Chains A and B, each alone.
Chain A
Amino acid sequence: MAGVTVFAVLFLHAESQEEVMGLTLGAAAALLLLARFGWNALAAVSFAGHSRTGQAAVLIGVLIIAAVFYDQHFPLLMLASVLLYIVVCLGLNLQFGYAGVLNFAGAAFFGVGCYTAAVLTSHTSLPHLAVVLIGGLMAAGIGSLLILPVLRTHGHYAALVTIAFSILFRVFLEVNDTLGGPQGMKVQGMEILGWKLNDSLAFGEIEISFYANYVVLALVMAAVAFMLVRRLERSWIGLNLDAVRLDETACAAFGIDVARWKITAFTLGNFLTGLAGSVYAMMTGFVAPNSFTFGDSLILVSIVILGGLGNPWGLSVAAAIVLMLPEKLQFIQEYRLLLYAALVILILLFRPGGLMPRQVRSYLPGWKP
């Protein structure tokens, strides 16, 4: 864990392309070595055994990274973005990884959250926590309009419905003048009970970037969402979702209501996505239709596949890789979609379980028969 933290700090610190490239290759080599000697399996087992300490270590690691970059905007913005993306991908993982509902409109639901925040902060004086909540509810609500066609179709066809929605959403934003059209909208910074997240904190000489506030907020959100998804997986509901994905006929024969669980997963997932979206909008201060393209939705799906379907730890790692690498390696930027596509194909071919394949469900942490 300490090693990973140090690596993340170095990585965010690295300025030149060569340094970044070197670090990336170094990490890849280290991981390959670990895999070669089966140490990652060991790590996974020990992680499962000490899940509490493992989780605490991750939280502390993130805070250390934030502390190291306390006065720099960019690394903290990256960090907060990764954390919010983790929330989104946790939502997608509920839908796709567990219930098997392919959602290619992740970015669109994220956008619903963003635009809800933009409209509500500029036209009303609702408390911002309520705005975030409404952002989540809006995404869940708009998702429930989609649920009927999604339930009536299966597999690829349900995916097509979400693709259609994703494209529809962007076109709608571009032609809608009250929502700023292609120019987008400004969003106010967040304020919770008098605490303005967009003001930098200053302790004497030391001035802390205001993004540190958002890192803390995003970390709390990611931790809560993570816990929620973990608990869901380790329960009868998680089992129902898996059964719905794997065999609908067997489900029906054993009383599992396929529609009910698809709706649960779809709605909860969109809710998480909307929550993250509204915080993201307030953090960046600006929303525009260009951030919610079909391509962005594909990136979200690729994060979930890359990390390992159904594994919250895996998608967290994948979110960090997929978001940070192109930011750091500028020359990748232009080719990033191409690169992700290639990466996903490689993963599906050679490691269908993803970077961190999901383990068989254990209902209670540390429980042994």
Chain B
Amino acid sequence: MSTLLTCDSLSMRFGGLVALNQLSLAVSAGEILGLIGPNGSGKTTFFNVITGIYQASEGRVDYLGHDLARMRAQDIYRAGVTRTFQRSRLCLPLSIFDNLMIGNHRRLNHSLWFNLVRRSAFRAQFEEQYAQALALVRTFSQSLAERLFEAAGSVNMIDRRRIEICRALISQPTLLLLDEPSAGMTHEETRELMDDILIVREHMPGLAIIIIEHEMNVIERITERCIVLNYGQKICEGPYAQVAADRQVQEAYLGTE
């Protein structure tokens, strides 16, 4: 598989605190990469740097010829990188459909003329997008698909997470960053959610996923490769079984018996 993303000695410093320390890694197209490590080891910071929310202090992030470390968040999204947030960031007063369309921004027409005057063209685009949103949400939950025009704040936490994942998927990205998708869910719900993500992925060949997760059975089940961070540094890399057996990883994160 071809390489999609390459980080080259990426560093992020907040004053004296080094959140990412000379991190280098590569992700191939279509791969699912797990990112694990103790709290504060720099996992979410890594996502924030890649998506342009933080500006990296040093290093390059090469993605299909772009240097993400020097790009604005909105341009990174347009290049096909989307994410979910560790703490849900939905617009709760807006409808579920509205939230999905926020994620679909790059595929909608935003000109004043189109939106205000050409209402029949707008209608056509709206109906097309509605059909796509409906199909995507159905993969995750039928009952949710029936409630697309209700406020996102009116559904429970699990459905909110589903909406957030749909919001990140609907624009058909090439790289999806999932920040602890299972937080606050039971094992059963987590398993369902992961199955749904895998189903959607079958329709999107080439979609690479980086997932931050503390549920080790999720990591074990869906990832092909893992990277373990500690104090902003990569301490281990490889398939889960190999990583889990590593002494350093056990000491830093998994715990020894």
Contacts and interface: CB of A to CB of B under 8 A. Distances in A.
Contacts of A362: 149
A250 interface: yes
A249 to B, nearest CB: 7
A231 B74 contact: no
Given A253-B82, A254-B105, A242 B53 contact: no
A363 B119 CA distance: 10
A249 B53 contact: yes
Contacts, number: 95
B115 A236 contact: yes
B78 A255 contact: yes
Interface string A223-245: 00000100110011101101100
A274 B142 CA distance: 49
Contacts of B126: 363-364
Contacts of B171: 254
A369 interface: yes
A257 B74 contact: yes
B83 A232 contact: no
B112 interface: yes
A206 to B, nearest CB: 40
B112 A255 contact: no
B85 A250 contact: yes
A231 B116 CA distance: 6
Contacts of A243: 91, 94, 102
A362 B151 CA distance: 12
A36 interface: no
B196 to A, nearest CB: 21
Nearest to B81: A253
Nearest to A250: B89
A242 B77 CA distance: 19
B216 to A, nearest CB: 27
Interface in B36-84: 51-53, 72-75, 77-78, 82-83
Given A232-B115, A250-B91, A255-B77, A360 B103 contact: no
Interface residues of A, number: 28
Q: How large is the interface on B (under 10, 10 to 19, 20 to 34, 35 or more residues)?
A: 35 or more
Contacts of A256: 74, 102, 105
B46 to A, nearest CB: 15
A247 B73 CA distance: 14
Contact of B74 (A236, A237, A252): A252
Interface in B90-126: 90-95, 98, 101-103, 105-106, 108-110, 112, 115-116, 119, 122-123, 126
A142 B72 CA distance: 29
A246 interface: yes
B149 A237 contact: no
B103 A254 contact: yes
Nearest to B79: A255
Interface string A260-278: 0000100000000000000
A197 B158 CA distance: 61
Given A252-B73, A253-B73, A364-B123, A236 B101 contact: yes
A251 B119 CA distance: 25
B91 A242 contact: yes
Contact of B94 (A235, A253, A361, A363): A361
A237 B148 CA distance: 19
Contacts of A237: 110, 112, 115-116
Interface in B168-194: 171
B89 A247 contact: yes
Contacts of A251: 102
B110 A240 contact: yes
Contacts of A264: 112
A234 B202 CA distance: 34
Contacts of B151: 360
A299 B85 CA distance: 39
A250 B84 CA distance: 9
Contacts of A369: 130, 134, 148-149
A228 B115 CA distance: 10
Contact of A228 (B72, B116, B167): B116
B141 to A, nearest CB: 16
A219 B65 CA distance: 56
Nearest to A232: B116
B150 interface: yes
Contacts of B93: 242, 246
Given A239-B101, A240-B110, A254 B94 contact: no
Contacts of A247: 89, 91
Nearest to A228: B116
A252 B52 CA distance: 9
7 contacts: A235-B115, A243-B94, A243-B102, A253-B85, A254-B102, A255-B106, A361-B95
Interface of A: 228, 231-232, 235-237, 239-240, 242-243, 246-247, 249-257, 264, 360-364, 369
